[in-house]
Structure formats: C-alpha cells, structure tokens
Chains A and B, each alone.
Chain A
Amino acid sequence: MQCARCLADTASVVAHAPDGSGAWEMIYCARCNFSWRTSDEDQYINPARREQIFQYEGLDLETLPTVMPIAPLRK
C-alpha cells in the first residue's frame, strides 16, 4: 500500500493489536522506514494532511545525511 510519508507503494501491515481487540494495525514502509498505527490521529497519518516539511515525496533517500560515516575496511 501507499506510504503516508514517501508515497511509494512500499508499505504493508506488519502488526495487529496483540490483545486480540482488533483496535488497530501497524503499517510499515520498507523503503523510508516510516510506520504508523491506524488509530493515530488523521492529521499525522493522512498524506493529504501531513505537514509538507515532514514528507519524503520525491526525496532521494540517499541524500539524507549519513551521520555515522562508514570507516574504510581494515586490511
């Protein structure tokens, strides 16, 4: 299904409410690592309402800063 944050078709249901109540599902996007609970507030999980500054639409994820540089391989 569509990711609420990066809008790619890379999200799927990964968990259900463990008490069996069916209260919510957890959806996770394997591309940008965003996840959301279906019971969360609509303004934060609806791509049409989320604040633009937090969206990843069209963002090349490779360009996110790599805060932990990868050390050269030791010989």
Chain B
Amino acid sequence: MSTRDFREFIGKLEQEGQLVRFHEEILPEPDVRGVGRGAVDLGPTGPAVLMDNIKGYKGKQLALNVHGSWANYAIMMGMPKNTSLKEMFYELARRWDRYPGEVKRVNNPVCQQNVIRKNINLYEIFPLFRVNPYDGGCYFAKASVVTNDLDEPDEFDKTNVGMYRLQVQGPDTIGLGALPFHDLGMHVRHAEAANRPLPIAICLGVHPMLSVMACTPIAYGKSEYKYAAALDGAPMEIAKALTSDLDIPAGCEYVIEGKVLPRQRFPEAPFGEFPGTYSGGRNQLRIQVEAVTHRNDPILENMYTGRSWSELDTIIGLSTCVPLYQQLRETMPEVTAVNALYQHGLTVIVAVDNKFGHYAKTVAMRLASTPHGVSYCKNIILVDGSVDPFDLVQVMWALSTRVRPAKDVIVIAPTPGHPTEPSSDPKGISGKVIIDATTPAYPDTTGPQYRLVDKVENTEIFRKRIVELQQATGR
C-alpha cells in the first residue's frame, strides 16, 4: 500500500495514469507557472507534471502538482483513485488514531549520494521559478523544514517538520517566512534568546505523507514523522544531517542544510499566499546555506500557489478537517463529518444532528474555540448529519431550505482572525458568522411539518445499467 519515498510515489502515480512527462522546451517564467496552474485547473483527476526541458535548466527535473488532485491524494492513501472525498475523510480520521507510527534510522541515506559544500549557487543547482508574477523572487514552496528546540535537542517528538515559504535571496541565502505561533517560531525564539544560530534542514521531494503532515496543525509535542508513519502504515526512514544533528527524511530528493542567523531581520516577500492574495513585504528571518545534498538524478518538487483551487488546497484540505472533527466529537458525538477544505478552514461546514433545539449553534461555538478554529473558522455552516458536507449541492440545498434568517444567522464580532486573510481588518481581527441550516428539533419548531422525499432504493442497479448502455453507444 505505502511507498517508501517520493521517488517511488512518482513511479506509482505514473503507473496509475496520474503523472505526465513534459519534454517540450519551456521558459522558467512565465511557462512553469502556466504548467502549474493548468495542471491544477484540471481538477480532481488532474495529473502531476514532471518537466525536464526548462530553458537554461536543461536536464534538470521539476515536478509540480504532485498533490494537486484528489485522485493523486487517494493514490497516496493507497485507495482507488476515484475514491469519494467523504470516504477519504473517514479513512484519514481512522488512521489518525494510529499515532504514533514508527521511525527507522538509516545510515548512508540516498539523499546524501551527492554533497555540495562550496560555491553553492541555488539558482544554478535548482530549476527554480518565480511562482507568481509579483513575488519577491524565486521560492521553494513545497519544502519540509526541519528544526529542533535547542533547549531540548534530545526530545525527538519536539523536532518540528513544517512547510514554510522560502525566498531565494542571492546564491546561498534564503529568506524564511515564519510566524510566531508556529512551532518553528518557538524554536527560533529559544535560539535567539540564547543568541545562537538555529540549525535548519530544508528537505525537498519528501515522502508525500510527510508533506501533508508538514502543513497540518498538530500539537507541539507531537512528531510529524510519527504521524506520517501512522497515516502511511509503514515506518518513516530518517537519517542525520551532515552539518547538524537534525533528523531528515532519508529518501528525499534534496536537502539544503544551513543556519538561521540569530537576531537579524531582512526584507522578504511578497508571496502569493493561501487566500489567493499577495502578502505584503516583511522583515523576516534569513538562512545561511552551508551544504546541499541530493539523490542521483534528483527531482525538485515545487508547488504553484495561487487562487483557489490550487495544489495547496488539496494538500492541506483533509488534514485540516480531521483534527477539527476529532476535537468536536470529544464532547459532541452527534457530529458526523467536518468539511474544512475552504482556505484552510476559513469556511467550515459541519454535519450534525440536533439533539435538541439550536444544538447545532453550540457546535459552531465549540468549533470556534478549538485551537485552529480560534483564528481560522470564520464562516461556520451547520447542516444535518444526513447531509454530506463535502457535496456542495447538498449544502446549498440545506442553506436554501433550512435557514430562517431571523433565527439561524448569528454574527459574533470582533474575534481573533488570521493576519494574512484579506478581510481581516485590522490585521489579526475578524469575526465569526454562524449559519444554521439544520432541521429544527424540539422545542424549536419550523411551523408546518414537512417530510423529505425519500432516497430511491433501487437506483444503484439502474445507474450502472444506464452507464453500460451509454458506453455501448461508443460516443
């Protein structure tokens, strides 16, 4: 079921018809961006694209859209590529509880088959591109960044693997876009308080499950490696970095090793971010690169990030849903599913059965006070437990037929907000809106009683037969 590393996963995608090899000559700008945008616009069945003829970078391999479609995500899960979102959600939730998985230490990892320590020129080693036209430079947008807490360097579970944006600034320096409330922010704070450079390893082309965990908000003391292993059903192979004590994925394609310069800030950004807008210029951290290692015939994995729906939405989508679902069900087992796919949970649809009048509204309040919900969950829509929150047609039906404007729309403001979210004004301040589209329960009433039209029971047999007939027409 699982694959060992990124290289094997690429092979599996290709076997399943979910990877295309692009040999035509294209320019780094604007063409690579066009490939990334085009591939993800193909939607839930779109393929990954592996390019090897980028002008000036001839022969260097670049992969985009590896997590860009639900079909690819299903293959990563070891499920059929046409698995429904709802099924993948429940399967991911089931595997979540398998934490912790195992890690296995490896010597002479393949990611260190080649080592560059001198004359490092990132622009010449890596087939980079400017992701969005007004970004401040070329970015690594799909890196898994590894750091330790220097106050507790032997605590394996406190190693952080996170996906942060990285702006190439000159041949061997990189701007690091971190935020104080991320785990990396805590590692930097501890290092800077002691005036120490923080060792850092930027890992590219990592196991696809590790990429997913790198952009999932999990508790500080939990290990992304062990989560990835639990979700994948196989141990994660790790190895020691060359210039530091950091644990890196053994089978990844490239590792950029370096140090975060303490107590200094440098201009960074803009970068087209997850809400589909450019973040403004910031004074941010800087990494001094000390070594680059890579596999033979390495593939650079990068990500086009732009207006939704883009690869970023797919990779963070379901793992944003699952923790919220688990946290709600701790005290509210009536919740049947959570769809937090939209802009990392800025809009959430929760399916829940009312156990009494207006119960669903309190579910919304619990969501709004979960760790992720506090600054992300802004638009909270409640639908019945029998409505599939991943099926937007059903959700629209619920909004159309169940919302009583005077009773079912509640605005709570001001509340915390996410500073990168454009409607957050001032930055970091937002509000919550609860839209209750559930069927009222006693003692709440809805006036005249209506009965839903029942599901058609024999539809499956006839649906299959109609498909057969249509295929037989050959058109």
Interface status of B67 (Cβ within 8 A of chain A): no
Given A15-B171, A17-B55, A74-B194, also A33-B266 (CB < 8 A): yes
Which residues of chain B are within 8 angstroms of A18 by Cβ–Cβ distance? 56-57, 60, 124-125
Which residues of chain A are within 8 angstroms of B268 by Cβ–Cβ distance? 33
Contact at B267–A33, with CB atoms within 8 Å?
yes
Bound Cα distance from A47 to B380, whole angstroms: 44
Which residues of chain A are within 8 angstroms of B28 by Cβ–Cβ distance? 24, 37, 39-40
- The residue on A at minimum CB distance from B173 is A33
Which residues of chain A are within 8 angstroms of B185 by Cβ–Cβ distance? 68
Contact at B192–A21, with CB atoms within 8 Å?
no
Contact at B130–A23, with CB atoms within 8 Å?
no
The interface size of chain B toward A, counting residues with CB under 8 Å, comes to 49
Interface status of B265 (Cβ within 8 A of chain A): yes
Which residues of chain B are within 8 angstroms of A33 by Cβ–Cβ distance? 136-137, 167, 169-170, 175, 266-268
Interface status of B409 (Cβ within 8 A of chain A): no
In the complex, chain A residues 8-34 whose Cβ is within 8 Å of any chain B Cβ: 14-19, 21, 23-24, 26, 28, 30, 32-34
Tell me how far the C-beta of B253 lies from the nearest C-beta in chain A, rounded to whole angstroms.
Answer: 17
- The residue on B at minimum CB distance from A59 is B281
B interface, by DSSP: helix, strand, loop or mixed? loop
Bound Cα distance from A62 to B193, whole angstroms: 21
Which residues of chain A are within 8 angstroms of B27 by Cβ–Cβ distance? 39
Residue of B59, B171, B193, B267 touching A32 (CB-CB under 8 A): B267
Bound Cα distance from A16 to B55, whole angstroms: 12
Contact at B267–A39, with CB atoms within 8 Å?
no
Contact at B270–A54, with CB atoms within 8 Å?
yes
In the complex, chain B residues 210-256 whose Cβ is within 8 Å of any chain A Cβ: none
Given A18-B56, A67-B180, also A28-B193 (CB < 8 A): no
Interface status of B296 (Cβ within 8 A of chain A): no
Contact at A41–B58, with CB atoms within 8 Å?
no
- Which segment of B282-290, B339-347, B363-371 sits at the interface? B282-290
- The residue on B at minimum CB distance from A45 is B29
Contact at A21–B282, with CB atoms within 8 Å?
no
Q: Which of A33, A40, A64 has the most CB of B within 10 A?
A: A33
Contact with A along B20-44 (1 / 0, CB 8 A): 0000000111100000000000000
Tell me how far the C-beta of B128 lies from the nearest C-beta in chain A, rounded to whole angstroms.
Answer: 9
Which residues of chain B are within 8 angstroms of A32 by Cβ–Cβ distance? 267
Contact at A40–B130, with CB atoms within 8 Å?
yes
Tell me how far the C-beta of B319 lies from the nearest C-beta in chain A, rounded to whole angstroms.
Answer: 24
- The residue on A at minimum CB distance from B167 is A33
In the complex, chain B residues 278-332 whose Cβ is within 8 Å of any chain A Cβ: 278, 280-285
Which residues of chain B are within 8 angstroms of A74 by Cβ–Cβ distance? 193-194
Contact at B171–A14, with CB atoms within 8 Å?
yes
Which residues of chain B are within 8 angstroms of A72 by Cβ–Cβ distance? 193
Contact at B130–A37, with CB atoms within 8 Å?
yes
Interface status of A58 (Cβ within 8 A of chain B): no
Residue of A17, A35, A56, A69 touching B56 (CB-CB under 8 A): A17
Interface status of B178 (Cβ within 8 A of chain A): yes
- The residue on B at minimum CB distance from A31 is B267
Q: Which of A36, A37, A51 has the most CB of B within 10 A?
A: A37
- The residue on B at minimum CB distance from A39 is B27
Contact with B along A53-75 (1 / 0, CB 8 A): 01010000110111111111110
Contact at B133–A41, with CB atoms within 8 Å?
yes
Bound Cα distance from A71 to B136, whole angstroms: 27
Contact at B267–A68, with CB atoms within 8 Å?
no
Interface status of B121 (Cβ within 8 A of chain A): yes
- The residue on B at minimum CB distance from A22 is B56
In the complex, chain B residues 174-218 whose Cβ is within 8 Å of any chain A Cβ: 175, 178-180, 185, 188-189, 192-195
- The residue on A at minimum CB distance from B124 is A18
Residue of B58, B123, B283 touching A19 (CB-CB under 8 A): B58
Q: Which of A18, A21, A61 has the most CB of B within 10 A?
A: A18
Bound Cα distance from A2 to B195, whole angstroms: 35
Bound Cα distance from A26 to B30, whole angstroms: 15
Which residues of chain B are within 8 angstroms of A62 by Cβ–Cβ distance? 283
Interface status of B134 (Cβ within 8 A of chain A): yes
> A residues touching B (Cβ–Cβ < 8 Å)?
5, 14-19, 21, 23-24, 26, 28, 30, 32-37, 39-41, 44, 50-51, 54, 56, 61-62, 64-74
Apart from A36-B137, A67-B178: 18 A-B pairs, beta carbons within 8 A: A5-B136, A14-B171, A18-B57, A18-B60, A18-B124, A24-B56, A26-B123, A30-B170, A33-B137, A33-B268, A35-B136, A39-B27, A68-B178, A68-B284, A72-B193, A73-B193, A73-B195, A74-B194
Question: What 7 pairs across the A-B complex have the smallest Cβ distances?
Answer: A17-B56, A15-B123, A23-B56, A18-B124, A35-B137, A19-B58, A40-B29
22 contacts between A and B (CB under 8 A): A14-B123, A16-B124, A17-B55, A21-B58, A26-B123, A33-B136, A33-B169, A35-B170, A36-B130, A39-B27, A39-B55, A44-B133, A50-B134, A62-B283, A64-B281, A65-B280, A67-B178, A68-B179, A68-B188, A69-B180, A70-B263, A73-B194
